[in-house]
Structures are given as structure tokens and as C-alpha cells.
Structure 1
Amino acid sequence: MSRRINFDSLTLASTVDSLQVLLNGSIQRISQPSEYDLVLTVYAARYGEARWLINCSTQWARTHLVTQRLPNPPQPPAFCMTLRKYIEGGTILSIAQRRFDRILDVTIRGHEGQVYLLTAELMGRHSNIILVSPDGFILQAAKLISSKVNRVREVLPGRDYLPPPDQGQPDPRGITADHFQTWLASAAPDDFPGWLRDSFEGISGILAGEIDSRSTQAQHSNIIAARWAAFESVFRAGREHTWRPVQVRDTAGTIIGAYPLPLQGVPATQQTLAPDIHTALEHYYSVAVPQAIFEQQQRSLLGALQKALSTQRHALRQVQQGVQERGRADQYRRWGELILTNLHQIQKGQDKAELLDYYADPPATITVALEPTQTPQQNAERLYQRARHVENNANRLKALQQQLGEQAEAITTLIAQVEQSADTAQLESLRTQATRQGWLHGTGATAEAGKSTAKSQAQQKPAFEGKRIRALTSPEGWQVLLGENAEANDYLVQRVSRPNDWWLHVRAGTGSHVVIPTQNNPQRVPTTTLMFAAQLAAANSRARHSSLVAVDYTLRKYVRRPRGGAPGFVTYTHEKTLDVIPLE
């Protein structure tokens, strides 16, 4: 067996049986260490002081006594405050399992003499802990559920307490031999464990499998009699109070659960008897919960780093493509020289010229595109400038290529370290390192986005006062804002952006203004996010069809709108340039 053993109805039955020692005990203190953990400190004459844990999380719902003290928040939640008001100082009158379901009912006489019901529904994602008044209405719950979430069963203060829907299945502990064997014979199921789960209340997968294992090992020639014997043997322990709790491990020795009875379907070498069910459960969950949290955090961090690595590699491929453009500089320079050599053949107004390329071997006639509004000399100078621009750009991109390559290598190393990490402390150290480098999604200005409720969002004014400003997210998680017309560009620069935000615009051309909000930390914005924003600016300009576009970027504080200037028209200083391929 390798899968985790969940807290099922048989485990709850065993736990409830052993909790009877707390009857008539006094609830001395109530604490709520976390959203889904409730701890009752009880003093009972038959036991002494006990710390009773009830957990209603989706994955780890359970109840048992604990020895470990759990840290409490500085301010108790509303649920905890309500419990303290009504039942702290009260006396436990009964502790019971509701039929054979995963529902715990605890009746408590409050300090004023009224009797309250504390019910714990330990049922996966529907798990909850609810305090019910003597009149049967809900006083408070760990999870409040409105009609928007569940139209059939609201769990809100003031509402009548309605139990979970009854599935109509019988309690297996009340079934007689005749009833069981007649029912089984008429059903003749091919899947005996499945039949058990479908026919009886509270039969979990692990319990159905155990009954099936016991039936195959029973010394009965009659299969129906063997199955009844196995079925009855499991529930006999509850009637006779002869539980034998065990801790169960997988073949690698990792603890995978605790159960109130030895499992015949699991090798004895993988099971260890525990002194009581509480010890077995506390030991298992003290290992399993931190391990599950660690594995979830590890998966999350690995996923974010893999995404960052993919982004770096994508940017690196684009930069490499730009570096390869350097070869075109020689071509532009050669065309310029051919124009100057053939000035007598070219007139202003031509859009192309057929020239003999004497650099070719053998020489051949080529077609050179011209700007009709320029003289031949100006066309040649334009090509020389383009050659210098391509060379300079290639040199800058070569430096960026090395930087991106080093970052990709660093992320690869960090991924290996995360895969080899052994605890959450190591993970947090690596996460901090990755965040500092700007490699994690959500480290930018959008990290706190999405926290508003639907109600508050509905009450907010239209985004950007209705101006046509697009909000995008870079692969690293940074928000990027783009104006879609002159009015939006002006509003973005004058009203939305802050002095230390990055501002980008295609050089010497018409196009959208692009802003990267930095929360006053422009140095934290990774180069790849700047590249992404530059590609957006290029794609939303008249140069969008060019193979390579120059985009200037500077801090917003160096951008100003001249007095009397048209909306969207600005001047700027302290700029740097990125040559990018427009984003598709």
C-alpha cells in the first residue's frame, strides 16, 4: 500500500469510544490556532487535563487528543470568540458519532445551564465545525456558507441547523447476519468492495478493501459466509472495545496513516501497534501535514521557476536572432557604396535602382530599394546609418545575450537546489533568493492584485475612468499598461504612472505609450519584462511590420508634455534603447 489512509468513519468510531473518558469534564480553555484547527482544553476526573483537537480542513479533517501545544494567533477569530462566550467553562455531557457517518456530536452544558451542540462534520471539502444553540439555530461556524455557495444548506449565524443530507444507507453496525447474507446473495456483486461502499453508510475505500482482504483469507468454503465473517469481525472491535490501533507505512518506510485495527491487506512488517488511537493519529499527522505543505510549496516554487526559465530562454532566442542580424550591416553598407558608385544612374524620385553588384563573384545585377523623397546621396547615408544602427544594436544585444544566458544558468541551478531541498526553511531561503532576482511570478506590481471582493469591485469606478488603457501581465508577473489612443496615452502618462515607473515608446515614430508600474522599485523590474514591454510598444506602432524596431525607455519622471502640446505628445531624456522584434 502506498496511498494515504484518510480519517474515516471507523477511525472516528474508535476515537469517540476512547473520548468517553472526557465525559463530565470541564472545558477550561478554547483556542483556534489556525482557520481550521480548534483545540478544547478539557479537565476530566477520569483523565486529567486533555488537549482535544478538531480539524475541519478539506484534506486533513479529523479529531483526536494531542500532546503538542499549537501556537495561537494574537487575535482570536470570531468563531473562537463565540465558542468562548457560550461553552468555555461548560461541562461535556455526551460525545457521540452520528450513526456511522463522519460527524461528531458533542453536547455541552454552558455555565448558565443551557445545553449546546458542537458538531464537527469531517467530510472532505464539506468539513465544518458548527455551534448550535439550544433552540436549534446556528450560533457560529468555522466555515460560513451562504446560499450562493450551497442553495440547499446555508451555514450562517441565525439560520436553523440542518444536518447534511441523509444518503439513506443503513448503519453497518446494525446489520444482522441473515440480512447481510440475503442482501449479498441477491446482489451477487462482481465488485465486492464497491458493493460495500454503495450499500452501507460510512464504508470508506480502505475499510471496504480490508473487509475484502479478510474474506479472502477466511477459512470458509462458502464465499457469502466468509464475507459476513470478515464484515462482522471489523465491527466487533467497536462493540467489545477491543481496538488495536496501528501506524501504517509504505514499502519505503514512510508513514502513510493510522488505523484503529491492524490491516490484513497490508504486510505486518509495515504496521506498528500504537498505545492508543490518539497517539497513532497525532504521530501520523505531525509528519504528514508538514510534509504535504512542504511538497505543495516545492511544487509551486518549481513551477514558478520553470516558467521563469522558459521566459529567459524565449528572450534569449529573440536576442540571438537580433545578434544574427549583424550580418545585414555589411549588406546595407555595400548597398550604400553601390549607390554612391552609380550616382549618375539614379535620380531623386526613384523607388528602386537596378545596380551592378561588383562585390559578387561573378558580378550580378541587384535591385536596391530607395526612398523616393531623398536624393541618391541621402539614400546612401540612410543605408550607412542603418548599418551602424544594426552593428550597435548587435553589440548591445550580445551583452544582453550573455546576461540572459547567465540568468538561465542561474535559474537552472536554483531549480536543482529546490528539487534537492529537504525542508520548508531551505525552500523559503531559495524563494527569497528567486524573488530578489525578480524570477517569480507575482513579484511585481500585480502581486497584491485580485484581493478585492466581487462586491467592492462592483462599487469601484470604471478602470482608468473609461480610458482605453489595456492592462497586461508580463511572463514574470509584472503589470504592463498600454494606451490605445492619444487620449489614453495622455491619461496614462499624466494621471496613472508614477515618477519611478518605466515608460516606453517606439523611437522617432507614432505608437502607444507603455508603462510598467514599479512600486517605486524600478531596479527590480527584470530585463525580460522590459523586453516584453518594448515588444508591445513595437507591436502597437506604425513600425509593427518591421523585422527590428528601436524602442526607447526611461523613467516616467524624465517624460514631460510640452506646454500646449497635443494629447499624447511628449519629450523625454535619459533614455536607453532596446531593439526588439514586435510581439505577435
Structure 2
Amino acid sequence: MNYLLLKAVVEELAQNLTGHRVDQIFYLDKLSILLNFFHPKFGESYLYLSASNDFAAIFITESSLFASKMTTPFLNSCQNFLLGKRLFKIEVPPWERNVCLEFLDPKTAEKVYLFLEIMGKHSNLLLVNQDFIIVDAIKRYGENQSRYREVLPGKPYIPPPKPEAFLLNNLTLETFLRLFIQSPNLTLGDFFKRHIIGLGTFLLKEVFFLTNLKADTPCKELSTQQIEELYATLISLVNKNPMPVLYFNDNIPFYPAPFELKSLKDFVKQPGSPCEVSAQYYLYHRYRREFDSLTLTLKNAINKKLKNLQERIVELKAKIKEYENAQEFKNFGDLLLAFQHQVAKGSSRVKLQNWDGTPIEISLDPAKSPIENAELFYKKYQKAKKGLNIAQTQLQITQEELEYYKTLQFQVEDARSLEDLEEIKQELGIDNNPKSKKLKKTPPNFLTFTTSNGNKVYVGKNNWQNDYLTFKVAKDNDLWFHAKNIPGAHVILKCEKVPDEQSILEAAVIAATFSRARFGKKIPVDYTLRKYVHKPVGAKPGFVIYQHEKTIFVDPNLKLLQTRLPGFTTGKP
């Protein structure tokens, strides 16, 4: 979060939250919290604070969308010291990114401070009492991690170290010229990195753009006039009144700027208040980070399970092949009984004539008689026969489970929302936290389409939604669609009357599109009345059997996938 935008955010917070009471404090993640403020005149407000390494930020957001019932020692400390207190003051020192929120107890006048230090991977959020003793910090570390200060409960609060480079509020033209004289071999980019702090990458690019200079230009090549123009441009830029805009790259929030930047003139921009711009940028990237992280977690879990199942199938097939030779054991026993008089006592091997006249050699236990050896072969035969049945049953179960996990794999790859992934996560049972939210009991948001003839088509996005759609939403005379023998969504065509062929064709195209075969041609799609679709007792989520189906071959329509992009809404029947 660049300083100029941070300063504008702090000014907005001071105007809108000063005097408001802290009513609730929520856990967002291990590095982020949400303060719920209340004012009898202005109602509720939510203040987002994060010490994330990549996206540390502070701003007002509209709701407690990401709030969780989780708790941590730091959250408990904040609740003990901040609940009921009012925000008295919020400020940030010039060209530093250390925000201080000062809270006041209206009854005792006791003060408590919350410091948000935005410093990349060293960002932190600290709770400090009125004697400037640390109560707790969202990141704790001792002298082993930092020679400068300890951030531990009970230790004095020491502000972050001052940078060796010049802060812009202390930079005079004389100093600027002197620094250039002292740095002839540095490029402009390295010069600013070493000597000037607070601009950030994009504002520095703006300075170079406005002065027609490049970051790799050596300092010694600049004339005094160019240096003076560079200084004047720099000071003019940092003194501009904030009018924040959010820049987008391919519809993705790209950079929250304190004002319009001419160097980004080719990017789409959207103006807003400091908090609006910050919230849209940081919440998007927070959501994207959580989405990508959960996607990776689920993929790893599913891929591990798929590998184990595939190895199990190889083992079972080998066992079945071995057990299929069980008839040979029975044959050995029969031969030994029929020709026992030809077996010498104490023999370890014997050659006999098989029933078809060919010679055959049989290995024996020399300590046993021919009859006892025959009994051993009969026992092996019975064991192998029983093992064959068990192995064949296990193979079928394992292959069904493999298909189930392949379906989950497709659903994870196809997911477009964190909620869809959370449902899959809970279905897999890999969330061991008892305080995490359970599967939704309310109807899910299905993807919803309307055929050219006005019929509604609903699409499930994961196994839980597929089951809910098929067995709780669809009626007996609705049509159920699914790509034939291919992982994909359950699709329901709502039928108030006998459906027309065009609506059936369009629903089939939707089913093919929302399947793993979406990039193919002439995809087979089965469809039947919903009353002919059943779920076997004990079957895994999403698994069904059906009958009286018809099959139609269609080409997927990839344009339909645009309905799953951010910004598109889904609906409930």
C-alpha cells in the first residue's frame, strides 16, 4: 500500500470513524482482523486490518464477508482491550507506513493503541497499552529474530527503525543535487532505491514518464537543469491532492493509485474514495490468494488419492491374474490322488502325465505324503477361489472410487468461487477444524440458463450441488442430463409441459460444456426423466444410476463458460 494512498485512507478513516465504538472483532486469517464499529447516528462500519506479507492494508469495507468464528491469542487480546472503546485518533507519520489507531475508554479515559506497520514481509499489527508496553502482536519475535527490537507481550513498544534513505518530506533541492553529485555511477533507478524512500514502483515510473527519463539512465548523464526538473516533478507529484483510481489489467484490479497516472493511460481505470479503491483491490487479491491456495490444497489431496487408487488397481489386477490360475491347484491335487502310487516317498518334485497326455511337473512338500500334498493344493484352490471373488469386488469398488475422485478433480479445476471449493473441501473431510463452517443448509446458487424457448436450465457446480439439484429441486417430470461416462455437472431442464426438441438440444449442449469433454466434438450426453434417476444406498456424493435414457451427440459451446467469470451472478430456482 503506497504512502500517498495510505495517507488518504487514514484521512478518510479519521473523518468517518473517529468517535465510533468498537462493538465486535472478527478473525479473518492468521494475519488479518476485522473491527466492527458502531455509532448511534451512523450505524455499523467494518475496518479491515491486515499484516499480510504481500497485501498489508487498512480500509473500511462494507460487511463481515470473510469473518470467521476462529480465535487466536492476539484476537483475544484485542477483544479484551478494545471492545467498548472509542476510536479517539488515527494518524500516520509523514512518509512512513506506520498507522497508529488510538482508542479511549469513555468511562476511565484509559488509552490503548493499535499499530499497523506496513513493511512488506516485516508487516505487523501490534496492540499496545497506554504505557507503550506491548500487549500482544499478530507476529511475535524475540531477540533471535531481530537485533533492533523484541515484539513480545510485556516488552516496550519501539517503532520500526528509521530508513537510512531520505524521506520525501525532508528532501530539499540542495540535498537532491548533492546526492546526485555523490552518485555518478548509479542509474536513476538505483539512485532512488538507495537514497529516496516512499514513492513505490508505479509512482517512480510516473516521475520518469513525466520527465522523459529512464530508470537505467546513469546519474552522471543528467545536467543540473534536468536534475532540478526531476526534483520539481517529484515534489509536484507527491503534493497532488488525492483523487484515487483503481487501474485494471484484463478486468483484474492492477494498481490502486492515489491519483491518475499518465504512465498508465492505456489501462482501464475506475475512480473511487480511498477506502473504496483499496477495498476493491485488496479484497480481490485476498480472495484470489485464498482461492488459489485452497485449489492447490484440494488438487494435492485428490492427486495423492488418485495415485494410491491407481496403485491399488494395479495390485488387485495382479492378484486377480494370480487367482485366475487357481484351477491349476485343483488339477495338481486331482493328479496326485489319481497317480499317488507313482510318487516316491520324500520327493520334492514329481513328473506326471496330465489329462491331455502332456507331461507336467509338480512341486511337493517332501515331508508330506501324496494325499497330504493333494490336500494342500485343494486348500490353495479354495483360498484362491475365495480371494478371486474378494479381489474382483475390491477392484470394482476401487474403480468406482477412482471415477469419483476424477470427478472431484474436474470439479476443483472447474470451480470459479471459493464457496464451491469450500463445499468440496468439506465433502473430502480434510477440514479438521470443528469451528469451521459446515456445508450450507440453504439452497445453493446454481448456474442458471434460459433456453431460446423460455425453459429454465440449472447446472450443479460440485457433488453436493448435483445431489441437491437432482433430488431436492428437480421434479419427476423434469429432464436430467449428464455427459455420458464423463465427469461433469448434473443438468436439469425444468419442464412444465412436454419439452420441445430445441430445449432438449440446448440443455444437452450445456451438459457437454460443463463436463471434462468441453473441448471435444460430438460429445455423447445422456438424458432421462428425473424420476428414472436414483441414488444407491451408501453411494458417494454426486453418484447416481439411471435408466430409460436417450443419448444425443452435441458440440459444446465454450461461450457459456463466461457465466462463470467474476462479476456474473448465479441464481436459485
- TM-score, L = length of structure 1: 0.62
* Rounded Cα–Cα distance in structure 2 between residues aligned with 1:297 and 1:136: 39
Which residue among 193, 198, 203 is the counterpart of 1:197?
A: 193
Task: Confirm or deny: 8 A CA contact 1:13 1:238 kept in the other structure.
Answer: no
1:423 Cα offset (Å): 2.0
Task: Confirm or deny: 8 A CA contact 1:32 1:77 kept in the other structure.
Answer: no
Matched, 1:244 2:243: yes
* Partner residue in 2 for 1:105: 100
Cα distance change, pair 410–228 in 1 and its aligned pair in 2 (3 A): farther
Which residue among 123, 135, 150 is the counterpart of 1:154?
A: 150
Which residue among 171, 174, 177 is the counterpart of 2:167?
A: 171
* Rounded Cα–Cα distance in structure 2 between residues aligned with 1:294 and 1:259: 25
Task: Confirm or deny: 8 A CA contact 2:86 2:104 kept in the other structure.
Answer: no
Cα distance change, pair 442–294 in 1 and its aligned pair in 2 (3 A): closer
* Partner residue in 1 for 2:370: 376
* Rounded Cα–Cα distance in structure 1 between residues aligned with 2:5 and 2:55: 13
Q: Please state whether the residue corresponding to 1:386 is helix, strand or coil.
A: helix
Task: Confirm or deny: 8 A CA contact 1:26 1:44 kept in the other structure.
Answer: no
Q: How does 1:454-469 map to 2 (within 5 A)?
A: none
Task: Confirm or deny: 8 A CA contact 1:144 1:156 kept in the other structure.
Answer: yes
Which residue identity does 2:279 align to in structure 1? E
* Partner residue in 1 for 2:571: none
Matched, 1:119 2:115: yes
Task: Confirm or deny: 8 A CA contact 2:51 2:123 kept in the other structure.
Answer: yes
Task: Confirm or deny: 8 A CA contact 2:306 2:405 kept in the other structure.
Answer: yes
* Rounded Cα–Cα distance in structure 1 between residues aligned with 2:318 and 2:228: 73
* Partner residue in 1 for 2:322: 325
* Rounded Cα–Cα distance in structure 2 between residues aligned with 1:151 and 1:344: 92
1:338 Cα offset (Å): 4.2
* Rounded Cα–Cα distance in structure 2 between residues aligned with 1:370 and 1:262: 92
Moved more, 10-19 or 72-81: 72-81
Task: Confirm or deny: 8 A CA contact 1:42 1:52 kept in the other structure.
Answer: no
Matched, 1:34 2:31: no
Which residue identity does 1:318 align to in structure 2? E
Q: How does 1:375-394 map to 2 (within 5 A)?
A: 375-394=369-388
Matched, 1:292 2:289: yes
Task: Confirm or deny: 8 A CA contact 2:34 2:64 kept in the other structure.
Answer: no
1:316 Cα offset (Å): 0.9
Give CA deviations for 1:149-180 in whole Å, capped at 9, x if unaligned. Answer: 65753323321112223442221343334543
Task: Confirm or deny: 8 A CA contact 1:79 1:142 kept in the other structure.
Answer: no
Cα distance change, pair 115–401 in 1 and its aligned pair in 2 (3 A): closer
Which residue identity does 1:80 align to in structure 2? Q
Cα distance change, pair 214–394 in 1 and its aligned pair in 2 (3 A): farther
Q: Please state whether the residue corresponding to 2:421 is helix, strand or coil.
A: helix
* Rounded Cα–Cα distance in structure 2 between residues aligned with 1:157 and 1:223: 51
Which residue identity does 1:352 align to in structure 2? R
Q: How does 1:310-459 map to 2 (within 5 A)?
A: 310-353=307-350, 355-356=351-352, 358=354, 363=358, 366=361, 368-435=362-429
Q: Please state whether the residue corresponding to 2:166 is helix, strand or coil.
A: coil
* Partner residue in 2 for 1:462: none
Give CA deviations for 1:371-396 in whole Å, capped at 9, x if unaligned. Answer: 12211111122123213322331232
Give ranges in structure 1 of 5+ residues lacking alignment. Answer: 1-6, 436-440, 449-522, 527-584
1:442 Cα offset (Å): 7.1
* Rounded Cα–Cα distance in structure 2 between residues aligned with 1:357 and 1:181: 108
* Rounded Cα–Cα distance in structure 1 between residues aligned with 2:142 and 2:26: 24
* Partner residue in 1 for 2:125: 129
Which residue identity does 2:116 align to in structure 1? A
Which residue identity does 1:127 align to in structure 2? S
* Rounded Cα–Cα distance in structure 2 between residues aligned with 1:383 and 1:14: 88
Which residue among 285, 302, 307 is the counterpart of 1:305?
A: 302
* Rounded Cα–Cα distance in structure 2 between residues aligned with 1:29 and 1:315: 56
Task: Confirm or deny: 8 A CA contact 1:193 1:209 kept in the other structure.
Answer: no
Cα distance change, pair 359–73 in 1 and its aligned pair in 2 (3 A): closer
Cα distance change, pair 69–198 in 1 and its aligned pair in 2 (3 A): same
* Rounded Cα–Cα distance in structure 1 between residues aligned with 2:309 and 2:124: 45
* Partner residue in 2 for 1:77: 76
* Rounded Cα–Cα distance in structure 1 between residues aligned with 2:135 and 2:27: 20
Which residue identity does 2:98 align to in structure 1? I
* Partner residue in 2 for 1:280: 277
* Partner residue in 2 for 1:253: 251
Task: Confirm or deny: 8 A CA contact 1:197 1:205 kept in the other structure.
Answer: no
Report the RMSD for the aligned CA atoms in angstroms: 4.1
Cα distance change, pair 338–205 in 1 and its aligned pair in 2 (3 A): farther
Cα distance change, pair 136–321 in 1 and its aligned pair in 2 (3 A): same
Which residue identity does 1:96 align to in structure 2? V
Task: Confirm or deny: 8 A CA contact 1:138 1:161 kept in the other structure.
Answer: yes
1:32 Cα offset (Å): 1.7
Give CA deviations for 1:35-91 in whole Å, capped at 9, x if unaligned. Answer: 52243748799x999754433344432112334466686997321321247xx2463
* Partner residue in 2 for 1:545: none
1:317 Cα offset (Å): 1.0
Which residue identity does 2:27 align to in structure 1? S
Q: Please state whether the residue corresponding to 2:347 is helix, strand or coil.
A: coil
1:193 Cα offset (Å): 3.5
* Rounded Cα–Cα distance in structure 1 between residues aligned with 2:44 and 2:405: 52
Moved more, 66-75 or 173-182: 66-75
Give CA deviations for 1:184-242 in whole Å, capped at 9, x if unaligned. Answer: 46545676435533433345444444444445469x996576677567545534434x2
Which residue among 49, 71, 95 is the counterpart of 1:54?
A: 49
Which residue identity does 1:426 align to in structure 2? D
Task: Confirm or deny: 8 A CA contact 2:4 2:242 kept in the other structure.
Answer: no
- What is the number of equivalent residue pairs in this alignment? 425
Task: Confirm or deny: 8 A CA contact 2:54 2:121 kept in the other structure.
Answer: yes
* Partner residue in 1 for 2:534: none
* Partner residue in 1 for 2:268: 270
1:427 Cα offset (Å): 2.4
Give ranges in structure 2 of 5+ residues lacking alignment. Answer: 435-536, 541-573
Which residue identity does 1:391 align to in structure 2? K
Cα distance change, pair 114–402 in 1 and its aligned pair in 2 (3 A): closer
* Rounded Cα–Cα distance in structure 1 between residues aligned with 2:191 and 2:328: 79
1:287 Cα offset (Å): 3.2
Task: Confirm or deny: 8 A CA contact 2:87 2:101 kept in the other structure.
Answer: no
Which residue identity does 1:244 align to in structure 2? M
Which residue identity does 1:37 align to in structure 2? I
Q: Please state whether the residue corresponding to 2:81 is helix, strand or coil.
A: helix
1:303 Cα offset (Å): 2.0
* Rounded Cα–Cα distance in structure 2 between residues aligned with 1:16 and 1:234: 22
* Rounded Cα–Cα distance in structure 1 between residues aligned with 2:150 and 2:59: 27
Matched, 1:65 2:60: yes
Cα distance change, pair 338–96 in 1 and its aligned pair in 2 (3 A): same
1:306 Cα offset (Å): 1.7
